[in-house]
A and B are shown apart, each in its own frame.
Chain A
Amino acid sequence: MKKSSKGKKWEWQPYLLLLPSLIIIGGFVFFPFIKNIYTSLTLTNASGNPIKFVGMRNYMKILTSSEFRETLLRTFKFALMVGIPSFVIGFVLALAAAEHKRGSRIYETMFTIPLVIAAAPASVIWYLIFAPHAGVLNYVLKTDYAWLAEPKMAIWCVAAVTAWSGLGMNVIFLLTGLRNVSAELLESAQLDGAGYFGRLFYITIPIASPQIFFVIFYNIVLSFQTFAQIRLLTNGGPYQSTRTLIWSIYEEAFRNTRFDYACAQSVILFLIIFVITRIQFLFEKKGVNY
């Protein structure tokens, strides 16, 4: 057991060093993961304890309910509503900030600042921007909507706030990608007569493609995790029009005290995110082309 011992003697030190991490990761990542799966196969009481094994019944119930299928569909739609604008606007901003110039740190900071604005204060501000009658949005668009009370509009509002919050991260990653493109390469292409868009599509975008792929998938996963915005802007309403998968999990557990359903839906959420990150890895391996 001595430290200086050579050979095959059992060393306890590395295990001791790993112990704290393994306890936490074991107790709060793997244990809940397995418990989730188990609980999803049972019937639970009001305090979330399994009382009866029911096999796949919870999954059958959930997957055959039209309400849940709508929730699932909405979750994917929401991903696009967040991901597309966040990426497109982020890309434009990153292009604008890509070149290092005098004073570029000023607008770079402006483009990325939403990143540190937490979801709660962001939602509070946007809640007032969306205010009926006297909100800025109504003023700018010359409309008179109660944006957050309209089932068709509310989800767009939540998506807008989420996209805004994700914008900074988008800009940062795209900037690292765009800055991988060497200035000499662009210059020589320009001398050869390539226009701005020619250079953009044939040089810049292919070289930045790893970051572009990354950001697209980042936005999708981010949208699946959106909770505070829904909670503070719409509470899942109006008429459940902003109930995404994560909100549905929250509602089943804490409003309906159906922890079994909540666990089954958590497993579904895990599977969705897992599949998407697998696709992402595949893209990173094969889809990056230059």
Chain B
Amino acid sequence: MRKRKEAIFFFLKLLLGGLVIFPLFYGVCLSFMGMADIFKMPPVFFTDRMSWKNYQAVFGRVPIFTYFKNTLLVSGIQVAAQIITSSLAAYAFTFFEFKGKKPLFVLVLASMMIPYESNLISNYLTICGLKLTDTYLGLTLPFLANGMSIFILRQFYMTIPRELKEASVIDGCSHMNFLVRIAFPISKSATASLGLYAFVNAYNQYFWPLLVTNKDAMRTIQIGTGILKDSEGADYGLVLAAAMTAVLPAIIIFIFGQKSLVKGMVAGAVKG
């Protein structure tokens, strides 16, 4: 009896899950269809006319490799820079006593209270003023450091035993050495979570790259997908194939790095 009840519940939960991912499933199905099947009534999910044609077109006609290259470069730069800048800053806040430490840390905390959306217009004007539109620097500059990562890494560095630091000083280990050889490796998993979270965020960015890119050669995959959809006489099968191609890396990261990613998100959201 009990086993049977369990099985029914399991099935019901799968059904709920199916409802949640239905849009994704639907998108995948349509991405293999031509326009005639996409707009068929009643809707169909599978036909024998399904083919890889849309995907071939995405990789052939659409500069998707350029979009991908841009996206990976932009996300990669953002993540690498964020990890470096915030490790350095977190280290300074943890292992140094210096004038102005407190006010500077308060400043870092305060920066988290200013949402990036309310700064968009001014930042856009800054990037324009620096003539950095349509450049990788323009796409990444505002995201090379942020208060939240500094805060989280500092929390983590604080758990490193003082004795370890003192012993290393006696052994003549320099600060840089301690950071690179000890502090950074100890907090590897926290940094990885943070990095993964930052990567997914950067990969999924839409508003900022929309503002600072005009040339097709500089567009990211998210912007490219949107432009395909809005283009005159859009072929929706093709648009969906592009969308699914854009989604795939994020899903792979999610499935394999779920634990780490979730940890980064929880840490990132429950701040200050």
Asked if B14 is an interface residue, CB under 8 A from chain A, the answer is yes
Task: Please provide the chain A residues from 200 to 246 with a CB less than 8 Å away from any CB of chain B in the complex.
Answer: 214, 218, 221, 224-225, 227-228, 231-232, 246
Tell me whether A21 and B85 are in contact (CB under 8 A): yes
* Pairwise interchain contact A36-B236, C-beta atoms closer than 8 A: no
Asked if A259 is at the interface (CB within 8 A of a chain B CB), the reply is yes
Taken together as a complex, chains A and B put the C-alpha atoms of A164 and B118 apart, in Å, by 24
Cα A35 to Cα B84 with chains together (Å) = 28
Question: Known contacts A124-B229, A270-B118: does B266 contact A172 (CB below 8 Å)?
Answer: yes
A residues less than 8 Å from B46 (CB atoms): none
Does B146 reach chain A (CB closer than 8 Å)?
yes
CB-CB contacts of B91-121 with A at 8 A, as 1s and 0s? 1110010110100100110010111111111
A5-42 near B? 1/0 per residue, CB < 8 Å: 00000110111011011111101111111011001000
Take A263-B122, A269-B118 as given contacts and tell me if A136 and B144 are in contact as well, using a CB distance cutoff of 8 Å.
Answer: no
Q: Which residues of A contact B23 (CB under 8 A)?
A: 122, 125-126, 129, 164
Most A CB contacts (10 A, CB to CB) among B12, B84, B126, B247 go to: B247
Confirm or deny: A114 has a beta carbon within 8 angstroms of a beta carbon on chain B. Answer: yes
Which of A101-119 touch B at CB < 8 Å?
101, 103, 106-107, 109-119
In whole angstroms, how far apart are the Cα atoms of A232 and B21 in the complex? 20
User: What are the residues of chain A within 8 A of B251 when measuring CB–CB?
Assistant: 113, 116-117
Instruction: Decide if A24 touches B145 in the complex (CB within 8 Å).
Output: yes
Min Cβ gap B56→A in Å is 19
* Any B CB within 8 A of the CB of A159: no
**Cβ contact within 8 Å between B17 and A106:** yes
Q: Range of interface residues on chain A?
A: 35 or more
A31 touching B204 by the CB < 8 A rule? no
In the complex, chain B residues whose CB is within 8 Å of the CB of A101: 6, 10
Does B53 interact with chain A (Cβ within 8 Å)?
A: no
Partner of B253, one of A27, A30, A116, A266: A116
- A262–B203 CA distance with the chains assembled, in angstroms: 27
Q: Are A21's CB and B206's CB within 8 A?
A: no
Given A28-B142, A120-B243: A97 and B13 interface contact (C-beta under 8 Å): yes
The answer to whether residues A110 and B20 also contact, given A120-B226, A262-B121 and a CB cut-off of 8 A, is: yes
The answer to whether B20 touches A167 (Cβ under 8 A) is: yes
For B27, what are the chain A residues with a Cβ–Cβ distance below 8 Å? 121, 124-125, 128
User: Is the pair B17, A111 in contact by a Cβ cutoff of 8 Å?
Assistant: yes
Q: Of B12, B14, B41, which contacts A133 at CB under 8 A?
A: B41
Name the A residues within 8 Å of B175 (CB-CB).
3, 13
| Residue from the list B98, B119, B247, B270 in contact with A11, Cβ < 8 A | B98
Nearest residue (CB) in A for B127 is A28
Q: Tell me if A249 is interfacial: C-beta within 8 Å of chain B.
A: yes
**Smallest distance from the beta carbon of A31 to chain B beta carbons, Å?**
7
| A125-B246 in contact (CB<8A) | no
Residue on A with the closest CB to B175? A13
Identify the closest chain A residue to B87 (Cβ).
Answer: A17
Tell whether B89 is near chain A: CB-to-CB under 8 Å: yes
Which of chain A's residues have a CB closer than 8 A to the CB of B18?
A: 110
Interface of chain B residues 215 through 258 with chain A (CB within 8 A): 222-223, 225-226, 229-230, 236, 239-240, 243-244, 246-247, 250-251, 253-255, 258
B189 interface residue (CB < 8 Å to A)? no
B interface secondary structure, majority: helix
Interface size grouping (class) on chain B? 35 or more
User: Is B42 a contact of A139 with CB atoms below 8 Å?
Assistant: yes
Q: Which of A14, A27, A112, A131 contacts B101 (CB 8 A)?
A: A14
Question: Which residues of the other chain, B, contact A283 by a CB distance below 8 angstroms?
Answer: none
- Jot down 17 A-B pairs with beta carbons below 8 A, ordered by A: A3-B174, A20-B88, A29-B147, A32-B126, A33-B122, A103-B10, A114-B24, A121-B222, A124-B229, A125-B26, A133-B39, A134-B41, A139-B43, A176-B266, A224-B117, A266-B119, A270-B114
- Given A29-B114, A116-B250, A136-B43, 15 other A-B contacts at CB below 8 A? A3-B174, A13-B92, A18-B93, A109-B255, A110-B21, A117-B247, A118-B247, A125-B26, A128-B26, A128-B236, A129-B23, A134-B39, A139-B41, A139-B43, A224-B117
B residues adjacent to A (C-beta < 8 A)? 6, 10, 12-14, 16-18, 20-21, 23-24, 26-27, 30, 38-43, 84-86, 88-89, 91-93, 96, 98-99, 101, 104, 107-108, 111, 113-126, 128, 141-142, 144-147, 150, 174-175, 200, 203-204, 206-207, 210-211, 222-223, 225-226, 229-230, 236, 239-240, 243-244, 246-247, 250-251, 253-255, 258, 262, 265-266, 269-270
